Amino acid sequence: MPEVGSVALLMSLLFTIYSIIAYIVGLIKKNKKLLKSAQNGVFTNAILTTVASISLLYALITSDFSIKYVAHYTNQALPLFYKISAFWAGNSGSLLLWFWVLSIYAAIIALSKKPEGAKMRPYASLIIMIIGLFFAALLNFEANPFTELGFVPQDGQGLNPMLQNVGMVIHPVTLYLGYVGFTVPFAFAMAALFLKKSGATWIKLTRKWTLISWLFLSIGIISGGQWAYVELGWGGYWAWDPVENASLLPWLTSTAFLHSVMIQERKGMLKVWNVLLIIITFVLTLFGTFLTRSGVLSSVHAFGESKVGLYFLIFMGVVLAGALNLFAINRKTLESENEFESILSKESSFLFNNLLLVGAAFATFWGTIYPIISEAIRGVKVTVGPPFYNQVNVPIGILLVILTGICPLIAWRKSSFKNLKKNFMIPFVLSLISALGFYVIFNIRSLYPLLATTSCFFVLITIFLEFYRGVKARMKMTDEGVMTSLVRLISRNRRRYGGYIVHLAVIIMVIGITGSSAYQKEMEVTVNKGEVIEYHDYNITYNGLKINEDPNKTTVYADLDVRRNGKSYTTLRPAKQYFKTSEEPVTEVDFKSSIKEDLYLILAGWTDSGQKAIFKVIINPLIGWLFFGVNILIIGTLIAVWPDKRQRSIELLKEMHRDG
């Protein structure tokens, strides 16, 4: 089977090179047969990468330890579920996953039969295949997952215990689907520049790709935070780790891009801004991959030092230089069709929103690379900690929340006093009242938490009013019931109301972040068997330690009965797991979630054969809102991305006419 995978990768490299040459020659000579042959090469490449990927999966599942990658990341006792996830646990496997996804995306683009964008598609496919060539070369010459050991060991080294978690199955895959997905709008943007098509056709053609990629990236970030919360055993979900930051950076810039393209579609403005944003977003996806593979920064998420990191750095520089050069050559074709007329307008509010998002991205980027710069200049690696990121990004985040409520409701071109009064008077007054309530009733006295909760309440009111006004108007015109009007309102205005639902999801998550960050409580306590831990509303009885064994590990867990406000609440079993392939124990936390808070327990240690145990008890207010919010985010994005054929056809016809 390793021979099949190796041959498939080699053939994939050859077909990638062929497709690139065929596209170039076909475009120069305008040879349709050659362009068709190039498309077939792209499709063949997708098949070959699929064969290579299936070969690696088969080797992992069947424990073919003659392959170095399989021997390094699996063993006989590893459950099947984690043997499959070992596919992306290491450097070469994760690169194959990236190339596999990219090849499938390239085939979908190349084989599309839709007439719109027909001129751009070959150029975009060419760019995607050039990017694919980099990964194909890496997999064949530097990080081949089918490299053989030369002997067959009796067992493998096994998967890192921290990766044996459901979160590490979801997190990398969704993250890569997001990362790779941004290749498509980047490729179409470069194609539009090369063809000097300054309109919004490339944006409309890639809108679905951008939204889905953004959604996958969002899921990847949140699932990564959830993994950290349940697996790392420190009570949090985000530590401003360099690799965490690297995933956040393209999310920030792509969020800015998603908002600013609406201005170009509607007003023919911000063309330069949009091209630069998609270039930066794509390069930042490469930057994140560089960080995980270079070893230049220490991170629990990184693969460690590797030559692949250097190649990514070089490739990232080449892509950035090439894209910016193409942008500079065609800069004059990106002139705006309209000008900003007022600071109090939808256009201006979206621009402010973008500036804040890019500002947050720059601050986070600077904090991430500063240790590298300091080491290069002074010889000392200065670590930038959470206080820096929080000091900069918390106020920016609050302003972004406020703009989330303002942007959808403010008028285009120039907002009148009447418009402002109609849309914002009720939310503003109710927000002031809520601020007083948060301060007096809920005892929220710190400035940032008070501003954050008040801002969230402001946005919730604006979203509710938008739905209320829409449903009310529809009921008046159609005599439909409330639920029927609501469903049809959303289905016939999917992009608009899907966006509102996404905003609602973001606000729910911000509430979770605010509560868990500002009001987390924790204590460490040593108790004897049978003793009760009293902490706030909870009485936790320690019943002793128990042991559970399976072929993969031995688990020592504490048995604890929990009562809340005097009533039986739950049983928790925090544990230490001793894997047969690892010398260090792994902390396995246990917690109980409610809409109000999480009770989170960590077994820190024990003495006297378990008669006495040490626990860390943490109360995380509202943290469940963060992880619940991503479900609303998925629903809202899917509604927004669901095609509306009538509107789409009208918009594309207009844009194609504009582009000639």
Per DSSP, 575 falls in state E
pLDDT at 356: 96
Q: Is residue 367 part of a domain?
A: no
Q: Is residue 392 part of a domain?
A: no
Q: Is residue 434 part of a domain?
A: no
On average, the pLDDT of the chain sits at 90
Please state the domain count of the chain: 2
Per DSSP, 565 falls in state T
Give the length of the chain.
660
The mean pLDDT value for 625-650 works out to 84
| Confidence label for 646 from pLDDT (cuts 50, 70 and 90) | low
pLDDT at 305: 52
Question: Residue 531: which residues within 8 A CB-CB, separation 6 or more?
Answer: 541, 542
pLDDT at 650: 52
Kindly state the tokens that stand for 265: 């579609």
Question: Would the pLDDT of 308 be above 90?
Answer: no
Q: What own/partner pairs with CB < 8 Å and gap ≥ 24 does 281-284 have? A: 281/182, 281/186, 281/250, 281/253, 281/254, 281/257, 282/182, 282/183, 282/186, 282/250, 282/319, 282/323, 283/316, 283/319, 283/320, 283/323, 284/246, 284/249, 284/250, 284/253, 284/361
Q: Is residue 339 part of a domain?
A: no
| Domain end (from 356, 388, 404) | 356
How wide is the angle at C-alpha 512 spanned by C-alphas 507 and 517, nearest 5°? 125
| Domain end (from 323, 356, 389) | 356
**Cα–chain center distance at 446:** 30
Question: Would the pLDDT of 660 be above 50?
Answer: no
Q: Is residue 411 part of a domain?
A: no
Do the strands 575-579 and 567-572 form a parallel or antiparallel pair, or are they unpaired? unpaired
What are the tens digits of pLDDT across the range 11-22?
999 999 999 999
Q: Tally Cβ neighbours within 10 Å of residue 122.
A: 21
Rounded to 10°, the helix 91-110/167-181 angle is: 50
Beta-bridge partners for 615:
525, 603
pLDDT at 652: 52
| Domain end (from 356, 371, 399) | 356
| Interatomic CA distance for residues 363 and 249, integer angstroms | 10
Question: Would the pLDDT of 396 be above 70?
Answer: yes
pLDDT at 162: 83
Q: Is residue 404 part of a domain?
A: no
Q: Is residue 454 part of a domain?
A: no
Q: Which helix (H) or strand (E) holds 492?
A: none
Question: Would the pLDDT of 515 be above 80?
Answer: yes
Q: CA separation (Å) from 304 to 140, 165, 295, 363?
A: 20, 20, 5, 25
Q: Which amino acid is at 52?
A: A
Phi and psi at 118, nearest 5°, equal -60, -35
The mean pLDDT value for 96-115 works out to 92
How many Cα atoms within 13 Å fall on the side-chain side of residue 535? 18
Burial tier of 454 (Cβ tally within 10 Å: 0-12, 13-18, 19+): buried
Q: Is residue 328 part of a domain?
A: yes
Question: Would the pLDDT of 339 be above 80?
Answer: no
Question: Residue 293: which residues within 8 A CB-CB, separation 6 or more?
Answer: 91, 302, 303, 306, 308, 309, 312
What are the tens digits of pLDDT across the range 551-577?
888 999 999 999 999 999 999 999 999
Longest dimension (CA), the chain: 84
- Compute the chain's Rg from CA coordinates: 27
Question: Would the pLDDT of 300 be above 60?
Answer: no
- Which range among 152-161, 272-281, 602-611, 646-655 shows the weakest confidence by mean pLDDT? 646-655
Domain that holds residue 57: 2-333+350-356
Instruction: Report the predicted TM-score, pTM, of the whole model to 2 decimal places.
Output: 0.93
The mean pLDDT value for 245-249 works out to 94
| Interatomic CA distance for residues 390 and 306, integer angstroms | 31
pLDDT at 140: 96
